[in-house]
Structure 1
Amino acid sequence: MDGNDTPAGKCPVMHGGLTNLSSTVTDWWPNALNFDILHQHDVMTNPMDVDYDYREELKKLDVAALKADLHALMEETQEWWPADWGSYVGMFARVAWHAAGSYRLADGRGGAGTGNQRFAPLNSWPDNVNTDKGRRLLWPIKKKYGNKVSWADLMILAGNIAYEHAGLKTFGFAFGREDIWHPEKDTYWGNEKEWLAPSDSRYGDVNDPSTMDNPLAAVQMGLIYVNPEGVNGQPDPQRTAHQVRETFARMAMNDEETAALTAGGHTIGKCHGNGTADNLSPDPEAADVEYQGLGWMGKVNRGIGRDTVVSGIEGAWTANPTKWDMGWFDMLFGYEWELKKSPAGANQWEPVDIKEEDMPVDVEDPSIRRKPIMTDADMAMKVDPIYNEICQKFIADPEYFSETFARAWFKLTHRDMGPRARYIGPDVPQEDLIWQDPVPAGPVHYDIGNLKAKIAASGLSLSEMVSTAWDSARTYRGSDMRGGANGARIRLAPQKDWEGNEPERLQKVLSVLEPLAAEAGASLADTIVLAGNVGVEKAAKAAGYDIAVPFTPGRGDATDEMTDAESFEPLEPIADAMRNWLKDDYAVSPEELMLDRAQLMTLTARELTVLVGGMRMMGTNHGGTKHGVFTDREGTLAPDFFVNLTDMAYKWEPVEDEKTYQIRDRKSGDVKWTASRVDLVFGSNSILRAYSEVYAQDDNAGKFVKDFVAAWAKVMNADRFDVV
Structure 2
Amino acid sequence: MTTQKMCPIAHGANTEISENPIAWWPKSLNLDILHQHDQKTNPMGASFNYRNELKKLDVQALKDDMLALFTTSQDWWPADWGHYGGLMIRMAWHSAGTYRIADGRGGAGTGNQRFAPLNSWPDNTNLDKARRFLWPIKKKYGNSISWADLMVFAGTMAYESMGLKTYGFSFGREDIWHPEKDIYWGSEKEWLQKSNGKGSRYSGERDLVNPLAAVMMGLIYVNPEGVDGNPDPLKTAQDIRVTFARMAMNDEETVALTAGGHTVGKAHGNGHVTHLGPPPEGATLDEQGLGWMNHQERGIGNNTVTSGLEGAWTTEPTKWDNGYFRMLLNHEWRLTKSPAGAWQYEPIHIKEEDKPVDSEDSSIRHMPMMTDADIAMKMDPEYRKIAERFSKDQAYFSETFGRAWYKLTHRDMGPKARYFGPDVPKENLIWQDPIPTGSTNFKIDQIITALKESGLSMSDLVTTAWDSARTYRGSDKRGGANGARICLAPQLNWLGNEPPRLARVLQVYKKISAEYGISIADTIVLAGNYAIEQAAKAGGVDIKVPFTAGRGDATVDMTDIESFAVLEPVADGFRNWLKEDYAVTPEELLLDRAQLMGLTAQEMTVLIGGMRVLGTNYDNTKHGVFTDKIGVLCNDFFVNLTDMNYSWQATGRNSYSIVDRHSGNTKWIATRVDLVFGSNSILRSYAEVYAQDDHQVKFIEDFVATWAKVMNADRFDVIDSLKGST
TM-score (norm 2): 0.97
User: CA contact under 8 A between 2:71 and 2:84: conserved in structure 1?
Assistant: yes
Which structure 2 residues correspond to residues 318-717 of structure 1 after superposition, within 5 A?
A: 318-655=314-651, 657-717=652-712
Q: Distance in 2 between matches of 1:24 and 1:87?
A: 46
RMSD (CA atoms): 1.1
Matched, 1:90 2:79: no
Q: Distance in 1 between matches of 2:454 and 2:572?
A: 27
Question: Alignment partner of 2:81: what SS?
Answer: coil
Matched, 1:226 2:222: yes
Q: Distance in 1 between matches of 2:209 and 2:583?
A: 11
Which amino acid counterpart does residue 272 of structure 1 have in structure 2? Answer: H
The alpha carbon displacement at 1:612 in A equals 0.4
Q: Distance in 2 between matches of 1:342 and 1:325?
A: 25
Q: Distance in 2 between matches of 1:673 and 1:275?
A: 69
Residues 430, 8 of structure 1: CA spacing in aligned structure 2 closer, same or farther, 3 A cutoff?
A: closer
The superposition leaves residues 174-198 of structure 1 with CA deviations (integer Å, 9 ceiling, x where unpaired) of 0000000011123100000000001
User: CA contact under 8 A between 1:486 and 1:555: conserved in structure 2?
Assistant: yes
Q: Distance in 1 between matches of 2:554 and 2:713?
A: 17
User: CA contact under 8 A between 2:272 and 2:340: conserved in structure 1?
Assistant: yes
Which structure 2 residues correspond to residues 65-464 of structure 1 after superposition, within 5 A?
A: 65-200=61-196, 201-205=199-203, 207-208=205-206, 211-464=207-460
Which structure 2 residues correspond to residues 16-35 of structure 1 after superposition, within 5 A?
A: 16-21=12-17, 24-35=20-31
- How many aligned residue pairs are there? 715
Question: Alignment partner of 1:633: what SS?
Answer: coil
The superposition leaves residues 683-709 of structure 1 with CA deviations (integer Å, 9 ceiling, x where unpaired) of 000000000000000000000000000
Which amino acid counterpart does residue 630 of structure 1 have in structure 2? Answer: F
The superposition leaves residues 592-627 of structure 1 with CA deviations (integer Å, 9 ceiling, x where unpaired) of 111111000000000000000000010000011000
Q: Distance in 1 between matches of 2:122 and 2:82?
A: 25
The alpha carbon displacement at 1:450 in A equals 1.6
The alpha carbon displacement at 1:16 in A equals 4.5
Q: Distance in 2 between matches of 1:135 and 1:679?
A: 46
Q: Distance in 1 between matches of 2:526 and 2:497?
A: 18
User: CA contact under 8 A between 2:203 and 2:209: conserved in structure 1?
Assistant: no
Which amino acid counterpart does residue 424 of structure 1 have in structure 2? Answer: F
Q: Distance in 1 between matches of 2:485 and 2:625?
A: 30
Q: Distance in 2 between matches of 1:179 and 1:247?
A: 26
Matched, 1:48 2:44: yes
Q: Distance in 1 between matches of 2:443 and 2:326?
A: 64
User: CA contact under 8 A between 1:163 and 1:170: conserved in structure 2?
Assistant: yes
Q: Distance in 1 between matches of 2:10 and 2:137?
A: 41
Instruction: Give percent identity, aligned residues only.
Output: 67
The superposition leaves residues 53-82 of structure 1 with CA deviations (integer Å, 9 ceiling, x where unpaired) of 000000011010001100111101111111
The alpha carbon displacement at 1:379 in A equals 0.5
Aligned counterpart, 2:715: 720
User: CA contact under 8 A between 1:202 and 1:212: conserved in structure 2?
Assistant: no
Q: Distance in 1 between matches of 2:10 and 2:565?
A: 50
TM-score (norm 1): 0.98
Question: Alignment partner of 1:695: what SS?
Answer: helix
Q: Distance in 2 between matches of 1:111 and 1:531?
A: 35
Residues 590, 263 of structure 1: CA spacing in aligned structure 2 closer, same or farther, 3 A cutoff?
A: same
Aligned counterpart, 1:4: none
Aligned counterpart, 2:55: 59
Aligned counterpart, 1:39: 35
Q: Distance in 2 between matches of 1:434 and 1:449?
A: 35
User: CA contact under 8 A between 1:456 and 1:534: conserved in structure 2?
Assistant: no
The superposition leaves residues 194-249 of structure 1 with CA deviations (integer Å, 9 ceiling, x where unpaired) of 000012344544743xx211000000000001000000000000000000000000
User: CA contact under 8 A between 1:174 and 1:428: conserved in structure 2?
Assistant: yes
Which amino acid counterpart does residue 683 of structure 1 have in structure 2? Answer: G
Question: Alignment partner of 2:80: what SS?
Answer: coil
Which amino acid counterpart does residue 174 of structure 2 have in structure 1? Answer: E
Unpaired segments ≥5 residues, structure 2: 721-726
Q: Distance in 2 between matches of 1:267 and 1:14?
A: 56
User: CA contact under 8 A between 1:109 and 1:187: conserved in structure 2?
Assistant: yes
Q: Distance in 2 between matches of 1:386 and 1:558?
A: 34
Unpaired segments ≥5 residues, structure 1: 1-6
The alpha carbon displacement at 1:17 in A equals 4.1
Q: Distance in 2 between matches of 1:500 and 1:350?
A: 53
User: CA contact under 8 A between 1:121 and 1:185: conserved in structure 2?
Assistant: no
Q: Distance in 2 between matches of 1:509 and 1:186?
A: 36
